[in-house]
Amino acid sequence: MIKNGDYIAAIRQLQSLDRPLMSTGVQTYYYSLYGELYEAKRLTALTKAQKDYYEQLRVGYRDSLRNLQTKKSIWDDAEFLTTRHKYTDALHILVKAYNNLDVNNRDMGYIAYAIADIYDKVDDTECVKQYLIMSAISDIKNSVREYISLRRLATILYEEGDVDRAYRYMRKSLEDATECNAKLRIFEVSDVLPIIDKAYDSMKAAERRHLTVGLAVVVVLLLLLVCMVFYTGKQLRHIAQARRQLLKSNESLAEMNSKLNSLNTQITSTNEQLNDANSRLRESNASLGEANKIKNIYIMEFMSKCSSYIDKLEAYRRSLNKLAAAGMVSELYRKLKSKTIIDDEVEEFFEDFDRIFLKIFPRFVPTFNALLRPEESIQPKHKGRLSTELRIYALMRLGIVENEKIASFLRCSKQTIYSYRSRIRLRSLCPDDFENQVLRIE
């Protein structure tokens, strides 16, 4: 609810809980949620009075959370020192933790952002930019889309006059926030983007005006050059001594022709680059179209599957209710203990996944086998179904490449997935590029 901007519903949900009945661990999470809620409301408040009010509430819950914790994290210590304006001590804690991380660690993005926030409070813009850059790099490397660093960096660049990069960074922030449906981040970007967008348009318009003026000057110069050539030719017919001047003019003209030829070569090279860029753009559009088609099909199938699961759960609930009402406790216990319904649902889920995937990629199995050595081809036991090995690479073709996520989807261990992938890769015709070839199956 907080991430989606539904603050009223979030407050009602939290207020409905009975705090005295909570354990210490649950109270800790309860206070942290309140702190996150009022931080989000502070960021979206319209007036300074509202921002100060929400910040006061957030600090109150932060202090309550700190009182519950027996072991304080570096985040708690740094924030506690920052709110008391002890910026040097807070930086000492955070920079020490920062130096032990690299950009491949997701925590680095959070710590770098916290350091940049403190430098912002002491008006050290260069250090703010430095750590926002590292935070943004860490976010991108760890596939984080609900971030703040790149947006704040774009704002600073805009204030420094680097409108082009500010515009590109802010557009990227909006695209990522929209993609992950982070409404709070969308609101934050939407407040700044129109200003940068207007400045970007103004800059481009100025560049076009300069180009137009430049072209006009070139045309005028070319016209003058033509007039001079005609005038020189007329004079040569009457004055023999002007032949030496004509020779010089011809040499000058030859030099200009050489420059024009060089310019034509550059224009040709530029056109080739533009054609190459257009080709890559068409490939990107094709990939986006394919991804959109896959998304639409899976959304419809997902909604249908959810509806079916709801009906099945309702039927199962009714059957258990009947047993309970009839006093058949042993039968009720037997049903609750049995895993048959789970196994059946898992099998049906895999069957639906295979059906939908083969509907989108009907030639996946033969194309996949063509990448293996002939004696190593994999044939499913049943038509219209996939084996476990094929199902792993089907998930990879859909964009799920992490072993942890694949293992969770197939209900097995991460080591099992790693073993499958290693064995299949060694059975392929080109082990080094095998998985990239699978990702290019149409």
Task: Give per-residue pLDDT as tens, 423-435.
Answer: 988 888 888 898 8
221 Cα distance to chain centroid: 50
> Which residue would you say has higher pLDDT here, 418 or 201?
418
pLDDT digits (tens, 9 = 90+) for 8-62: 888 899 888 888 888 877 887 888 888 878 877 776 666 778 877 887 887 777 7
Decide which of 437 and 268 is more confident: 437
Q: pLDDT tens-digit profile of 106-152?
A: 888 878 888 888 888 888 889 888 888 888 888 888 877 766 788 88
Burial (CB count within 10 angstroms: exposed 0-12, middle 13-18, buried 19+), residue 152: buried
The whole-number pLDDT of residue 91 equals 82
Residue type, 153: L
Q: What pLDDT was estimated at residue 297? A: 60
For residue 415, what pLDDT band results from cuts at 50, 70 and 90? very high
Q: What is the pLDDT of residue 231?
A: 87
Long-range contacts of 185-189 (CB under 8 A, 24+ apart): 185/146, 185/147, 185/148, 185/151, 187/5, 187/44, 188/43, 188/44, 188/148, 188/151, 189/151
pLDDT level of residue 298 (50, 70, 90 thresholds) = low
Residue ranges per structural domain of the chain:
1-71, 298-439
Per-chain mean pLDDT for the chain: 78
Q: 10 Å Cβ neighbour count for 105?
A: 14
b/e map 229-241, b = 16+ CB within 10 Å: eeebeeeeeeeee
Average pLDDT of the residues in 272-290:
66
The residue with greater pLDDT, 336 or 308, is 336
Query: Which pLDDT belongs to residue 427?
Result: 87
Which residue did the predictor score with more confidence, 228 or 209? 228
Rounded CA separation 67/2 (Å)? 24
What percentage of the chain exceeds 70 in pLDDT? 78
User: In Å, how far from its chain's centre is CA 189?
Assistant: 15
Tokens coding 393: 């690479």
pLDDT above 70 for 441: yes
Question: For 317-365, how does the pLDDT look when each residue is reduced to its tens digit (9 = 90+)?
Answer: 677 677 777 777 777 777 677 667 777 778 888 888 888 888 889 998 8
Chain centroid to CA 142: how far? 9
pLDDT tens profile 363-412: 988 988 888 898 888 888 888 888 888 888 888 888 888 989 888 888 88
